[in-house]
Amino acid sequence: MPSFYHTWLPFIYLYGVGGVFFVLGLIFAIKSNALNLKKKKHKYWLRVLIFGYLYFMFIHAFFTIAALYW
Question: Is residue 18 within the footprint of another protein (CB under 8 A)?
Answer: yes
Q: Is 25 in the site for another protein (CB under 8 A)?
A: yes
**What span, in angstroms and rounded, lies between the C-alpha atoms of 1 and 69?**
10
**Residues binding another protein: number (CB under 8 A):** 41
Find, among 49, 64, 68, 53, the residue nearest to 10 by Cα.
Answer: 64
Cα(26)–Cα(48) distance, rounded to whole angstroms? 12
Q: Print the binding letters for residues 27-56 with another protein: x by CB under 8 A, - otherwise.
A: -xx--xxxx---xxx---x--xx--xx-xx
State the minimum distance, in angstroms, from the CB of residue 49 to another protein.
6
